Amino acid sequence: HGIWAVIPAAGSGKRFGGEVPKQYLEIAGRPLIAHALDALLAHPAVEGAVVAIAANDERWPGWTSRCGKLLLRCTGGAERADSVLAALRALPAAVAGDDLVLVHDAARPNLRQDDIARLIAAASQHPDGALLAAPVRDTLKRADAHACVLATAPRDGLWRALTPQAFRRAALTSALERARVDGVVVTDEAMAMERMGAKPMLVEGREDNLKVTTPADLALATYLLSL
């Protein structure tokens, strides 16, 4: 079975600010999206990737292959989940319904091979799929609209969901379609699957697989990539 990667890259990076969408900012001589793509395509089990880009994107370099593997593009949508669904629909017809798809943010440039390997191993064994995640380290506060603490939330059993997230193509496609029909904005693939009753497996991933959201994150990602 071949595994395909899906890269949502149709965001505008509002929280980051600036004119260039963050996925096109360069660290170590390559844009973030190239780091994200190349990490996935370097894995021997990954056959190719579909990238979802914004309809008005003038910066997409037009790559049709990288690392000797096929690269397809499609037009993303208004929410991240819309972009992922568009990319799933653009997968080659040869991708089977029970083949695994790895969904990974274009804004996560620091993905390591050992995390990909452990994720694929877990998702292959687990019928409901798997995602990289990291245990919450800080004490969590619930606050009101004025930032006054209401309560401390128990941290045990709480994880931060990272990407990639690995699910079977047909199950993920119908879960995302269902969330859209229900008018629910899902912020990751696992959330769409959970709504269908799935219990995906958490695979503890490296803390340095960070999503670049702000300029400070970009500086941190640059440093972490240099290690």
**Nearer to Mg ion (CB atom), residue 55 or residue 227:** 55
- Closest approach, Cβ 87 to ligand CTP, in A, equals 8
**Nearer to ligand CTP (CB atom), residue 106 or residue 162:** 106
Instruction: Report the candidate in 146, 34, 14, 155 with the shortest Cα–Cα distance to residue 80.
Output: 14
- Closest approach, Cβ 125 to ligand CTP, in A, equals 27
Determine the Cα–Cα distance for residues 13 and 3; give it in Å rounded to an integer. 28
Interacting residues toward Mg ion by CB under 5 A = 11
Which of Mg ion, ligand CTP, none sits in contact with 52, Cβ below 5 to 8 A by type?
A: ligand CTP
Which of Mg ion, ligand CTP, none sits in contact with 169, Cβ below 5 to 8 A by type?
A: none
Which of Mg ion, ligand CTP, none sits in contact with 104, Cβ below 5 to 8 A by type?
A: none
Determine the Cα–Cα distance for residues 106 and 6; give it in Å rounded to an integer. 9
**Nearer to ligand CTP (CB atom), residue 53 or residue 116:** 53
Determine the Cα–Cα distance for residues 141 and 132; give it in Å rounded to an integer. 24
**Nearer to Mg ion (CB atom), residue 76 or residue 205:** 76
Q: What radius of gyration, in Å, describes the C-alpha atoms of the chain?
A: 17
- Closest approach, Cβ 92 to ligand CTP, in A, equals 20
- Closest approach, Cβ 30 to Mg ion, in A, equals 22
Instruction: Report the candidate in 190, 154, 149, 158 with the shortest Cα–Cα distance to residue 172.
Output: 190
- Closest approach, Cβ 76 to Mg ion, in A, equals 11
- Closest approach, Cβ 176 to Mg ion, in A, equals 16
SS3 category, 124: helix
Interacting residues toward ligand CTP by CB under 6 A = 8-16, 23, 52, 76-80, 83, 105-107, 211, 213
**Furthest-apart CA atoms within the chain: distance in Å:** 54
Structure tokens at 28: 């170590």
**Pairing of the two strands 26-27 and 149-153:** unpaired
Determine the Cα–Cα distance for residues 224 and 83; give it in Å rounded to an integer. 28
Which of Mg ion, ligand CTP, none sits in contact with 113, Cβ below 5 to 8 A by type?
A: none
Which of Mg ion, ligand CTP, none sits in contact with 137, Cβ below 5 to 8 A by type?
A: none
